[in-house]
């Protein structure tokens, strides 16, 4: 029997302050050069000051990607040209397959702890870039969990397997690049061992700090992991929380302009033309 290879930290990226929408303050990690393929960008929205985010994200277009939004505190109300209108709150997620094109808005809500949420962009393969747009909400109580003493994994999407073989499947089963997304919590000096074979594996620590294969990763850092099959996470002096992102690279060229992600410059120019001439969301 082959011993599973330990996945080690190969690169650390720190989030950077930015803003989007109508001046919403965010912290962003992005790599549109294919370095985190099939993922493109991760935004963290978090503030106890409503002025930092309540202006929200008025109607805007997308083409060529999927987005996954996950809320820890507060909420977001979504509306789009397809007629979807819904609100997600703490623990919920929403997934949007933009395909050929979608025009939507996202307006933040607050609770006693303000707003804390994430939005992940996943790149669509070339064959799916012009597919029909779809949308889905997922409530927190629909997400299965792997629980160990002082450790918990919440599966938003994809398949997650503990080293002892226990497996859970997140409700979002159509993430681009065979993607898988999970939220992990670890108490101090507790451990979680997972089997993850997907070539791309990212760990974004957003609270406290975690040890990954013996390396300390602080809040606000995203770790890229080496090839292998075994992921070892440990809590340090305090509790730590992270998003786990796993997927299979498309290995295709990426052409990006604002809300559009295609494969060539010509396709980007066509997206802009379609948006300007009113054919952007036509079937």
Residues 163 and 154: their CA atoms lie apart, in Å, by: 16
Note the Cα 12 to chain centre separation in Å. 17
Integer-rounded Cα radius of gyration of the chain: 18
On whether the CB atoms of residues 43 and 28 are closer than 8 A, the answer is yes
Q: How far, in Å, CA of 142 to CA of 156, rounded?
A: 9
Place of tokens 């290879």: 5
What residues pair up with 184 in beta bridges, in sequence order? 153, 242
Closest CA to 14 of 163, 154, 220: 220
CA 129 to each of CA 89, 125, 279: distance values in angstroms, whole numbers, following the listed order:
29, 6, 16
**Is residue 62 annotated as involved in ligand binding?**
yes
Asked if residue 44 lies in contact with residue 27, where contact means CB atoms within 8 angstroms, the answer is yes
What's the chain's length in residues? 283
Helical H segments across the chain, by residue range: 265-277
Check if the beta carbon of residue 135 is closer than 8 Å to that of residue 95.
yes
β-strand partners of 243: 183, 204
104 is in an annotated binding site: yes
User: Do residues 111 and 75 touch, judged by C-beta distance below 8 A?
Assistant: yes
Binding residue positions: 60, 62, 104, 106
Binding residue positions for Fe cation: 60, 62, 104, 106
């Amino acid at each position: 029997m082959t011993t599973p290879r330990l996945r080690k930290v190969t690169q650390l990226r720190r989030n950077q302050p930015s803003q989007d929408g109508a001046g919403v303050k965010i912290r962003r990690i992005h790599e549109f050069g294919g370095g985190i393929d099939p993922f493109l960008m991760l935004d963290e929205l978090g503030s106890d000051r409503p002025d930092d985010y309540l202006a929200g994200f008025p109607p805007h277009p997308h083409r060529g990607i999927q987005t996954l939004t996950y809320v820890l505190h507060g909420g977001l109300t979504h509306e789009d040209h397809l007629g979807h209108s819904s609100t997600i709150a703490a623990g919920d997620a929403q997934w949007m397959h933009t395909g050929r094109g979608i025009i939507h808005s996202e307006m933040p809500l607050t609770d006693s702890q303000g707003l804390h949420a994430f939005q992940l962009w996943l790149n669509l393969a070339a064959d799916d870039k012009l597919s029909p747009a779809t949308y889905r909400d997922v409530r927190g109580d629909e997400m299965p969990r792997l629980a160990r003493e002082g450790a918990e994994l919440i599966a938003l999407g994809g398949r997650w397997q503990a080293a002892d073989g226990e497996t859970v499947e997140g409700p979002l089963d159509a993430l681009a690049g065979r993607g898988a997304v999970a939220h992990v919590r670890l108490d101090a000096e507790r451990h979680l061992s997972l089997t993850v074979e997907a070539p791309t594996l990212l760990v974004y620590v957003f609270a406290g700090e975690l040890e990954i294969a013996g390396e300390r990763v602080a809040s606000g850092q995203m770790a890229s992991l080496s090839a292998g099959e075994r992921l070892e996470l440990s809590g340090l002096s305090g509790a730590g929380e992270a998003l786990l992102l796993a997927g299979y690279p498309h290995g295709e060229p990426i052409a990006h302009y604002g809300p559009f992600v295609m494969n060539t410059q010509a396709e980007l120019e066509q997206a802009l033309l379609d948006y300007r001439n009113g054919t952007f969301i036509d079937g």
